[in-house]
Amino acid sequence: MKLSFFSKSQANAFAIPKMTNSISNLKMVNQLIQSNRRSFLYGLGASLGSIAFTSLLAEQGRTDDSPKPLEPRQGHLPAKAKNCIFLMMEGGPSQIDTFDPKPKLSDLHLKEFTREGQQKSAMESGKRYYVQSPFKFAKHGQSGADIATNWENLAAHADQLCFFRGCQVDSVNHPTAMYQMNCGNRFGGDPGIGAWVTYGLGTENQNLPGFMVLPEVSFPQGGAANWSNGYLPAFYQGTPLRPEGSPILDLKPPQGISAVRQRANLDLLAKLNQRHAVEHPEHDELSARLESYELAFRMQTEIPDAIKLSNETQATLTSYGIGDEKTDSFGRKCLLARKMVEKGVRFVQLYNGSWDSHDYIERAHGNLVQAVDRPIAALIADLQQRGLLESTLVVWCGEFGRTPDNGVRGGTAYGRDHNPNAMTIWMAGGGCKAGHTVGATDETGMKAVEDVHHVRDFHVTLLRLLGLDDNKLTYYHAGRFKQLSQFGGRVIEKLIG
C-alpha cells in the first residue's frame, strides 16, 4: 500500500508545471492564480511543488529588506543544542515494560485491581487485574539505568541517556494526547513543536525545509495536524517524506531537461513576469508564485543527497539495521534523520507505531522494541562519532504511558490500558543531564509521584535546551499572544546538564 496524497486529476491540475515550454507555463501559472484557493491547497501533498509552495506562502507580504522567515538566528538564551531529532512512539509505550521496572507487580499478578479517581479509556470494561511485566530488567552503565533486557543495543548507551519518569498529560485518548504531546493543545489546530522551533531559530540550510517529518504509511492518530504550522506562517509546517517509493514526488526534472535549460526557463519566466507586473501592478500573486519555481530548482540540487543512502558505507547501513526485514524501515528513518541534521535541518520528527498494546504485550512490545532498538542505538553512536550528539537533542517518547492492569482475556494475552498519569521520556545529547534518572512513579507504575511535571514543563525545557524562552517565543493570534505551553510552564532544571 502506498500513500496517496491527492487524486490524479488534482495532481495534474495543481502540481507545479514542468518547465518545458515557458509561454505555456505562464498561462498555467495564471490558471493557478484563478483556481479556487481551497481546492489548490487541498491538492498539495508530498511533492517538490508542495514544499516550494509552502515557501512562497511565507514569502508573500515580505519586503526585500525584511529577513527571510527561515534565516538562522540567535535564540533568547545560550543554547545547548542547535538541532532536535524527535522519536515519537505513537500508541503509548509502556513504561513498566521498557524503562521503569515494577517488581511489586510480581506479587500482585492477577490480583483484582480497582481504579480510584482515574480517567478510564474506552477500552476498559469488566474486572481488571494487575499484570506483571513479561520482560526482565537489568541495570546498565555507571549510572545504573534500568532498561528491559530486550533493548540489547540501546543499553550500551545508558550513560548518555537522561530518563524522565515524572511526566503527565491530560488525555486518556490517542488523538487528543498526540496533539498535546506534539502541539501543546489537546484539540489540534496549534503549531507543532518543530514549527515553534523553526519559527524561533530559523534553519541552517535555506535549500531545505526547516522541519521535516518521517511518518509511517499510516499517519498517526490525529494525522498531519501533529506537525502543522497551526496559526504560524505556512513556512514553519512540517514537511513529510513519503515512506514508500520516492520520498518526494517530482524531485527529478523531466527527461531531457537539463539544469541549464531549467535556469534559462526560469529567467525567461522572470522577464515575462516583470512585463506583466508593469501592466498589472495589482497582480502581485504572480510574482510570489513564480518564486516557488526558484525554491523548487534549488531543492532539486540539495534534496537528492540529503535523502540518498547509497553514498553511505555498508558498515553504516548494517549498523542501522538496513537490509534486515525487522529493522529496515525504522533504520532508514534514523539514518535519514542523521543526514538531515548534517545538512542543517533544524527539527526532524520520526514516527513508529503502534505501541497500543491492550493485549499480548510480550509479543507486541517485543516486536516493536526489536524494530527500533538497533536503529536508535546506531543513531546515537553515529551522531557521537561525527561530533553531532553534543549539539543534537534526541528525544524518545509516546503520547502517554500504560497502566499496571488489564482484563484477563485467556492464556497469556495480557496487555495494558492507557495511562496519562505515568510515562517515561528519555533524552540524549543536546545538553541534557546524561546518566541520570529524574522522577519516579509509585510501586505499581500507576502514577508519577516524584518530580511530577505536566507535559507543558517538558516542552518549556526542550525549548530551553535549544536556547528558546517559551514566554518570549510567542505569536499574536486571535486577540492574544500564544505560545507552545499554552499559558506558561516551568523549566525542569534537573533534566539540564
pLDDT confidence of residue 328: 96
Q: How far, in Å, are 14, 142, 266, 290 from residue 263 at the CA level?
A: 22, 57, 5, 13
Question: Are residues 281 and 341 both part of a single domain?
Answer: no
Q: What secondary structure letter does DSSP report for 453?
A: E
pLDDT along the chain (497 residues), means of 10: 32 34 45 43 49 53 61 96 98 98 96 71 68 97 98 98 98 96 95 98 91 94 96 90 73 70 74 74 56 60 81 97 97 97 97 93 96 98 98 98 78 85 98 98 97 98 98 96 96 98
CA–CA separation, 181 and 195 (whole Å): 14
Q: Which of 113, 97, 98, 104 is nearest to 408 (CA)?
A: 113
Residues present in the chain in total: 497
CA–CA separation, 329 and 285 (whole Å): 41
* pTM score above 0.85: no
Structural domain harbouring 93: 83-244+311-495
Question: Are residues 213 and 275 both part of a single domain?
Answer: no
Look at residue 68 and tell me if it is in a domain.
no
Q: What secondary structure letter does DSSP report for 97?
A: G
Look at residue 72 and tell me if it is in a domain.
no
Question: Are residues 451 and 321 both part of a single domain?
Answer: yes
CA–CA separation, 320 and 41 (whole Å): 37
Q: Which residues pair with 396 in a beta bridge?
A: 87, 426
Specify the amino acid at residue 1. Answer: M
Question: Are residues 45 and 135 both part of a single domain?
Answer: no
CA–CA separation, 233 and 437 (whole Å): 38
Exposure class string for 426-436: b at 16+ Cβ within 10 A, else e: bbbbbbbbbbb
The count of structural domains within the chain is 2
Question: Are residues 295 and 212 both part of a single domain?
Answer: no
Question: Are residues 355 and 452 both part of a single domain?
Answer: yes
CB atoms within 10 A of CB 337: 27
Look at residue 332 and tell me if it is in a domain.
yes
* Sign of the CA dihedral with 437 first, then 144, 90, and 320 last: positive
Question: Are residues 399 and 374 both part of a single domain?
Answer: yes
CA–CA separation, 224 and 239 (whole Å): 10
CA–CA separation, 374 and 396 (whole Å): 14
Question: Are residues 161 and 279 both part of a single domain?
Answer: no
Q: How far, in Å, are 33, 107, 372, 425 from residue 449 at the CA level?
A: 57, 21, 29, 15
Look at residue 69 and tell me if it is in a domain.
no
Q: Which of 1, 152, 179 is nearest to 90 (CA)?
A: 179
CB atoms within 10 A of CB 34: 7
Which residues, 6 or more positions from 329, have their beta carbon under 8 angstroms from its beta carbon? Answer: 216, 243, 371
pLDDT confidence of residue 238: 93
Look at residue 192 and tell me if it is in a domain.
yes
Question: Are residues 239 and 266 both part of a single domain?
Answer: no
CA–CA separation, 293 and 262 (whole Å): 10
Look at residue 73 and tell me if it is in a domain.
no
Terminal CA-CA length for the chain:
44
Question: Are residues 237 and 349 both part of a single domain?
Answer: yes
CATH code for position 393 = 3.40.720.10
Q: Which of 132, 136, 129 is nearest to 98 (CA)?
A: 136
CA–CA separation, 199 and 169 (whole Å): 25
Q: Which of 340, 338, 370, 339 is nearest to 352 (CA)?
A: 370
Question: Are residues 213 and 334 both part of a single domain?
Answer: yes
H or E stretch at 248: none
pLDDT confidence of residue 3: 32
Specify the amino acid at residue 224. Answer: A
pLDDT confidence of residue 181: 98
Q: Which residues pair with 240 in a beta bridge?
A: 213
Look at residue 77 and tell me if it is in a domain.
no
Which residues, 6 or more positions from 209, have their beta carbon under 8 angstroms from its beta carbon? Answer: 51, 54, 203, 238, 239, 345
DSSP state string for 425-442: EEEESTTB-TTEEE-EE-
Give the SS3 label for residue 470.
coil
Which residues, 6 or more positions from 367, have their beta carbon under 8 angstroms from its beta carbon? Answer: 326
Residue 316, judged by CB atoms within 10 A of its CB (0-12, 13-18, 19+), counts as middle
Look at residue 2 and tell me if it is in a domain.
no
Question: Are residues 419 and 340 both part of a single domain?
Answer: yes
CA–CA separation, 120 and 373 (whole Å): 31
pLDDT confidence of residue 85: 98
pLDDT confidence of residue 329: 95
Per-state percent for the chain, helix, strand, coil, to nearest 5: 40, 15, 45
